[in-house]
């Protein structure tokens, strides 16, 4: 009969030998199942699912989140003493292939199935290796402001608690994920500004109990009706300042966790243990404000202080040690232990249903079937970065449980989370700081006032004492002089009286000065009070302004989204290109924000872009290009691109700083959509000669060249090539364009091979060659073509007879213009371009190009001589 009890926190024994794999092995980026049929050593694999795995610890995420798949690792427990004795004649039911990140499950001696995981950990894998590949990427994400979850799942007795909760007091190499994660967290925080707090709970018989306060044995789950986030306000939260106090907390929690002795495990966990680590980190603010206040008395009192609210990142690491799944006939559970097993299996079954629904993209996920699934709502399909380790045993007797565990991990690998950065302004800290400063000012004012009052009283008492002493001396003197002769005493008495008058006058003047000083300090006190009141009003106005700005941003975002919806409905109705556009395909790039209305509706409705332009204004639209929210920047740049497609708007956009903002986006943004649409907007602005000079002056060609070298998307390359092609048509920019790498960038984009990109490259080369030909004719250019110097001629010859008509037409024009300058003739002949010119003069479908090629051939002495030598007749 199984007996219930309290466990001491020591997990099942596992080998601490070094891992056979290198510690820096890269997790596999594909998940899938392979089926193997063994027949004479030959086998066939069948892949069922795969997908890219995002970086484990990415950079700063956008507020709308980045997709991140659940990472799953499998860990094999070595055989225990019982299995070594009972299964001595049988091989392991699993075979690990860690170098391929595969696991082969034997069904019998002839057939097996192969599964792929993100990481395969052998029975020799060290605790450090397990932590680095399973939990460390999640911990690094938590320190950057993202929520994270690390969870262990598997049959009872396969080493889940050993992997997660081992304290490692006797052997530091055996420390589990909980201890190692807290070591990294405490090493990375700043004690003065950051804080770490933990809660340690267990889910036992569908009741959430506090392992740090056993009296608190039924904690309620509270769900935010606005965001859907779940919290446990009744749980004990302890702030952690050092590693020793954290280990002590784990020891206390493990002592209170429910465990029982079963046939499968002498210390079988009868509850799900949940460790919640809350990390609060301060980040330097982005804005500062200087406040200067003038007093009413003309004196200027400058209070220059930082009124920027601190930015705080709040993230949470959840480590879940699930109770082991078990079969009653194998575990021997009965009585109360049987009821515990039923509760454990029911909660694990509910978790499996949720993961199945998320993996199959079901519209309904039954998260409310169990408290476990409610607590893990953010970990699967939520905003947390999740890593799962499934533990299995090698015994063939438990092949069914091992298969179930492996399939659970396979389904979990299909779950996608949307990780989000948890960042907010700490206005409470700013208010506390201002309150402290206010208290200091008030205390200093009261101290100075008391000092002034004491000084006035002292001076007044001293004056009164001096007056009384003078009167007493005067009286004594008069009495003494009365005994002397009247003639001798009259002069002295007169002098004494004069001195007394002077002393009295001096005392009165001094008292008057003191009164003036008191009045002056009272005015200063009133001025300081007024300054304090003004500071408080400015703080209130700042808070009110913040609320208004947030409301305005919300309205602008709604307008952008509404405009995008209207554009999607109407885009398909417009199949033609607007007048003056460089790219007929720009509408396809910004179709989410622009839709042309049918012609019959032109008099009844304005286009969505025009509506937004009139309602919001150009300055506000351009200000949204600097928004911190990626989706707002994307919509804003698309709106600007559509406005730039109209010639009437281009001058307004440039005057308002729109060109500078677009170039800044091209320089700083890593979002492919933003770079693509920004390049398209610059291409539209580059149709104007004035704008072309501005683009060159602001380093636009260098930025476009850098974008061309980094981008792989054909549509982005097409936009960049089109912008440079427009600049190639300006006679004054030829030399600067070549020096800043414009021609090299054009030729570099032919690597894409996309017809639309090649057409824009060909157009740019044709424009450049035409400008060079015109300059040579006018006598402004003497040397060889810059295109030939940059190696463009071989590509021109190769594509002169391209199947795509737009590419062929531009290449034929470029070749004709190059051949018109006699200094280029030798290169034309050496590269075989002469034969292409002859072909163009005979077979070109356009008569104007055919005639141009003929005139070029007949007007060049060098080319005519070469044709005579080759026997070519015109």
Residue 454 pLDDT greater than 80, yes or no: yes
798-831: b (≥16 Cβ within 10 Å) or e: ebbebeeeebbbbbbbbbbbbbbbeebbebbbee
Question: Does 479 or 554 have the greater pLDDT score?
Answer: 479
Degrees to nearest 5, angle at CA 138 with 134 and 141: 155
Euclidean distance between CA atoms 242 and 245, whole angstroms: 6
Degrees to nearest 5, angle at CA 618 with 625 and 615: 115
pLDDT of residue 566: 56
pLDDT of residue 4: 38
Question: Does 165 or 589 have the greater pLDDT score?
Answer: 165
Confidence of residue 326 (pLDDT cuts 50, 70, 90): confident
Which residues 6+ apart lie within 8 Å of 165 measured at CB? 9, 11, 176, 178, 250, 254, 273, 321
CB 423 within 8 A of CB 186: no
Which residues 6+ apart lie within 8 Å of 662 measured at CB? 625, 637, 640, 678, 681, 682, 685
CB 799 within 8 A of CB 807: yes
pLDDT of residue 797: 86
Residue 30 pLDDT greater than 50, yes or no: no
Model pLDDT for residues 148-161, shown as the tens digit of each residue: 999 999 988 899 99
Question: Does 198 or 573 have the greater pLDDT score?
Answer: 198
Question: Does 459 or 298 have the greater pLDDT score?
Answer: 459
Locate the DSSP E strands across 341-412.
385-392
pLDDT of residue 13: 35
pLDDT of residue 129: 96
Look up residue 397 and give its DSSP letter. Answer: G
By three-state DSSP, how is residue 316 classified?
strand
Question: Does 570 or 67 have the greater pLDDT score?
Answer: 67
Place of tokens 């027949």: 39
Which residues 6+ apart lie within 8 Å of 132 measured at CB? 23
Arithmetic mean of pLDDT, 76-85: 82
Confidence of residue 821 (pLDDT cuts 50, 70, 90): confident
Model pLDDT for residues 514-534, shown as the tens digit of each residue: 888 898 888 888 888 888 988
By three-state DSSP, how is residue 759 classified?
helix
CB 126 within 8 A of CB 118: no
**Cα–Cα nearest to 723, from 736, 744, 739, 708:** 708
CB 659 within 8 A of CB 695: yes
Beta-carbon count within 10 A of 446 CB: 11
Question: Does 270 or 352 have the greater pLDDT score?
Answer: 352
pLDDT of residue 284: 67
**DSSP for 401-464?**
HHHHHHHHHHHHTT-EEEE-B-EEE-HHHHHHHHHHHHHHHHHHHHHHHHHHHHHHHHHHHHHH
pLDDT of residue 263: 67
Q: What is the dihedral of CA 403, 404, 407, 409, to 10 degrees?
A: -110
Euclidean distance between CA atoms 772 and 761, whole angstroms: 17
pLDDT of residue 488: 61
pLDDT of residue 9: 35
Beta-carbon count within 10 A of 639 CB: 30
Locate the DSSP E strands across 7-93.
32-37, 66-69, 71-76
Residue 714 pLDDT greater than 50, yes or no: yes
User: What's the token pair of residue 585?
Assistant: 């395909």
pLDDT of residue 67: 83
HSE toward the beta carbon, residue 414, CA cutoff 13 A? 19
Confidence of residue 26 (pLDDT cuts 50, 70, 90): very low
By three-state DSSP, how is residue 392 classified?
strand
For the chain, state the CA radius of gyration. Answer: 42
Look up residue 821 and give its DSSP letter. Answer: S
Q: For the range 532-540, what are the long-range contacts, defined as Cβ-Cβ under 8 Å and sequence gap of 24 or more? A: 532/438, 532/441, 532/442, 534/293, 535/291, 535/293, 535/303, 535/434, 535/438, 536/438, 538/291, 539/307, 539/431, 539/434
Confidence of residue 605 (pLDDT cuts 50, 70, 90): very low
Give, in order, the Cα–Cα distances in Å from 631 to each of 41, 555, 561, 628, 647.
Answer: 54, 14, 10, 9, 27
Arithmetic mean of pLDDT, 698-723: 88
Arithmetic mean of pLDDT, 315-339: 81
Give, in order, the Cα–Cα distances in Å from 13 to each of 249, 401, 425.
Answer: 22, 20, 47
Beta-strand relationship, 148-154 and 311-321: parallel
Place of tokens 């999740």: 386
pTM: 0.46
Arithmetic mean of pLDDT, 819-831: 86
User: What's the token pair of residue 309?
Assistant: 């609210």
Residue 20 pLDDT greater than 70, yes or no: no
By three-state DSSP, how is residue 199 classified?
strand
pLDDT of residue 183: 95
**Cα–Cα nearest to 685, from 645, 637, 652:** 645
User: What's the token pair of residue 654?
Assistant: 């440039």
**Cα–Cα nearest to 259, from 157, 150, 371, 402:** 157
Confidence of residue 857 (pLDDT cuts 50, 70, 90): confident
CB 661 within 8 A of CB 618: no
Burial class (CB in 10 A: 0-12, 13-18, 19+), 790: middle
Which residues 6+ apart lie within 8 Å of 190 measured at CB? 281, 282
**DSSP for 467-489?**
HHHHHHHHHHHHHHHHTS-HHHH
Look up residue 325 and give its DSSP letter. Answer: B
Residue 780 pLDDT greater than 70, yes or no: yes
Question: Does 511 or 782 have the greater pLDDT score?
Answer: 511
Beta-strand relationship, 291-294 and 300-303: antiparallel
Confidence of residue 465 (pLDDT cuts 50, 70, 90): very high
DSSP bridge pairs for 149 = 318, 386
pLDDT of residue 148: 96
User: How distant is the alpha carbon of residue 643 from its chain centre?
Assistant: 29
Place of tokens 């994660």: 181
Euclidean distance between CA atoms 490 and 495, whole angstroms: 9
pLDDT of residue 292: 39
Give, in order, the Cα–Cα distances in Å from 538 to each of 193, 287, 291, 435.
Answer: 27, 16, 9, 14
Kindly state the helix (H) or strand (E) to which residue 710 belongs, with its residue range: helix 700-710
Of all residues in the chain, the percent with pLDDT exceeding 90 is 25
pLDDT of residue 294: 42
Model pLDDT for residues 621-636, shown as the tens digit of each residue: 778 777 778 788 888 8
Sign of CA dihedral 72, 78, 80, 85: positive
Beta-strand relationship, 66-69 and 119-121: unpaired
DSSP bridge pairs for 728 = none
Sign of CA dihedral 393, 397, 399, 404: negative
Q: What share of the chain is helix, strand, coil (3-state, %, to 5)?
A: 55, 15, 30
Euclidean distance between CA atoms 331 and 324, whole angstroms: 11
pLDDT of residue 793: 87
Q: For the range 866-870, what are the long-range contacts, defined as Cβ-Cβ under 8 Å and sequence gap of 24 or more? A: 866/829, 866/834, 867/834, 867/838, 870/834
Question: Does 163 or 857 have the greater pLDDT score?
Answer: 163
To 10 degrees, what angle do helices 714-728 and 689-697 make? Answer: 110
Model pLDDT for residues 364-386, shown as the tens digit of each residue: 999 999 999 999 998 998 899 99
User: What's the token pair of residue 60?
Assistant: 């700063």
Burial class (CB in 10 A: 0-12, 13-18, 19+), 512: exposed
CB 720 within 8 A of CB 710: no
pLDDT of residue 240: 95
User: What's the token pair of residue 363?
Assistant: 């519209």
Euclidean distance between CA atoms 701 and 536, whole angstroms: 50
Of all residues in the chain, the percent with pLDDT exceeding 70 is 79
111: left (phi over 0), alpha (psi -120 to 50) or beta: beta
On average, the pLDDT of the chain sits at 79
CB 755 within 8 A of CB 807: yes
Give, in order, the Cα–Cα distances in Å from 113 to each of 76, 117, 403.
Answer: 17, 13, 10
pLDDT of residue 614: 58
Confidence of residue 569 (pLDDT cuts 50, 70, 90): low
User: What's the token pair of residue 162?
Assistant: 């050993």
DSSP bridge pairs for 418 = 67
Model pLDDT for residues 296-324, shown as the tens digit of each residue: 444 444 444 456 667 888 899 999 999 88
């Amino acid at each position: 009969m199984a007996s219930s009890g309290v466990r001491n926190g020591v997990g099942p024994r596992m080998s601490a030998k070094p891992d056979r794999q290198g510690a820096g092995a890269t997790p596999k980026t594909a998940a899938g199942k392979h089926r193997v049929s063994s027949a004479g050593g030959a086998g066939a694999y069948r892949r069922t699912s795969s997908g890219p795995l995002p970086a484990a610890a990415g950079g700063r995420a956008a507020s709308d989140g980045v997709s991140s798949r659940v990472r799953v690792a499998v860990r094999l427990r070595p055989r225990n003493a019982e299995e070594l004795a009972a299964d001595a004649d049988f091989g392991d039911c699993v075979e690990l292939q860690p170098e391929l990140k595969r696991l082969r499950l034997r069904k019998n001696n002839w057939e097996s199935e192969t599964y792929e995981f993100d990481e395969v950990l052998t029975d020799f894998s060290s605790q450090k290796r397990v932590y680095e590949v399973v939990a460390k990427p999640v911990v690094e994400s938590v320190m950057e402001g993202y929520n994270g979850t690390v969870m262990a799942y598997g049959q009872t007795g396969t080493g889940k608690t050993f992997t997660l909760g081992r304290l490692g007091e006797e052997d530091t190499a055996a420390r589990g994920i909980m201890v190692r994660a807290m070591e990294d967290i405490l090493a990375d925080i700043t004690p003065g500004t950051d804080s770490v707090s933990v809660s340690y709970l267990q889910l036992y018989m569908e009741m959430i109990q506090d392992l740090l306060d056993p009296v608190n044995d039924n904690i309620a789950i509270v769900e935010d009706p606005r965001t859907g986030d779940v919290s446990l306000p009744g749980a004990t939260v302890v702030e952690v300042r050092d590693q020793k106090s954290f280990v002590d907390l784990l020891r206390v929690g493990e002592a209170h966790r429910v465990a029982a002795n079963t046939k499968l495990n002498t210390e079988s966990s009868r509850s799900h243990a949940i460790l919640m680590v809350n990390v609060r980190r301060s980040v330097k603010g982005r804005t500062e404000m200087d406040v200067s206040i003038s007093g009413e008395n003309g004196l200027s009192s400058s209070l220059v202080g930082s009124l920027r609210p601190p930015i705080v990142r709040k993230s949470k690491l959840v480590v879940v040690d699930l109770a082991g799944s078990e079969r009653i006939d194998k575990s021997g559970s009965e009585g109360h232990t049987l009821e515990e097993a039923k509760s454990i299996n029911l909660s694990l079954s509910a978790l499996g249903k949720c993961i199945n629904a998320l993996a199959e993209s079901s519209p309904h996920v039954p998260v409310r079937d169990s408290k476990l699934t409610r607590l893990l709502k953010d970990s699967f399909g939520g905003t947390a970065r999740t890593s799962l380790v499934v533990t299995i045993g090698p015994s063939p007797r438990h092949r069914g449980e091992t298969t179930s565990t492996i399939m659970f991990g396979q389904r979990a690998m299909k779950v996608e989370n949307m990780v989000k950065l948890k960042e907010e302004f700490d206005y409470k800290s700013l208010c506390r700081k201002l309150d402290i400063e206010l208290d200091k000012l008030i205390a200093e004012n009261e101290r100075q006032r008391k000092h002034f009052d004491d000084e006035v009283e002292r001076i007044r008492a001293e004056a009164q004492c001096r007056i009384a002493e003078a009167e007493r001396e005067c009286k004594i003197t008069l009495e003494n002089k009365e005994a002397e002769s009247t003639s001798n005493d009259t002069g002295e008495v007169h002098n004494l009286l004069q001195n007394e008058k002077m002393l009295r006058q001096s005392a009165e003047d001094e008292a008057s000065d003191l009164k003036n000083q008191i009045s002056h300090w009272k005015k200063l006190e009133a001025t300081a009070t007024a300054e304090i009141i003004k500071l408080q009003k400015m703080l209130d106005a700042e808070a009110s302004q913040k609320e208004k700005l947030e409301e305005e941003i919300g309205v602008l975002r709604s307008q952008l989204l509404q405009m995008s919806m209207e554009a999607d409905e109407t885009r398909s109705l417009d199949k033609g290109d607007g007048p003056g556009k460089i790219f007929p395909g720009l509408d396809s790039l910004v179709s989410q924000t622009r839709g042309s209305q049918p012609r019959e509706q032109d008099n009844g409705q304005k286009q969505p872009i025009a509506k937004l332009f009139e309602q919001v204004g150009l300055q506000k639209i351009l200000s949204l290009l600097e928004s911190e929210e990626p989706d707002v920047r994307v919509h804003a740049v698309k709106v600007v691109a559509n406005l730039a497609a109209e010639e009437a708007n281009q001058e307004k956009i440039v005057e308002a700083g729109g060109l500078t903002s677009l170039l800044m986006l091209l320089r700083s943004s890593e979002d492919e959509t933003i770079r693509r649409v920004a390049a398209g907007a610059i291409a539209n602005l580059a149709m104007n000669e004035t704008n072309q000079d501005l683009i060159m002056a602001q380093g636009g060609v260098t930025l476009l060249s850098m974008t061309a070298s980094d981008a792989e998307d054909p549509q982005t390359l097409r936009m960049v090539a089109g912008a440079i092609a427009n600049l190639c048509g300006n006679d004054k920019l030829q030399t600067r364009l070549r020096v800043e790498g414009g021609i090299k960038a054009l030729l570099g984009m032919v690597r894409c091979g996309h017809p639309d990109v090649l057409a824009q490259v060909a157009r740019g080369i044709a424009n450049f060659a035409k400008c060079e030909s015109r300059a040579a004719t006018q006598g402004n250019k003497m040397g060889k073509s810059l295109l030939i110097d940059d190696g463009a001629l071989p590509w021109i010859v190769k594509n002169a007879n391209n199947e795509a008509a737009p590419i062929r037409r531009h290449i034929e024009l470029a070749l004709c213009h190059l051949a018109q300058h006699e200094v280029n003739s030798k290169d034309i002949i050496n590269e075989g371009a002469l034969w292409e010119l002859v072909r163009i003069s005979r077979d070109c479908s356009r008569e104007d190009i055919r005639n141009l090629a003929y005139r070029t051939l007949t007007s060049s002495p060098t080319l005519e001589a070469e044709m005579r030598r080759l026997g070519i007749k015109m």
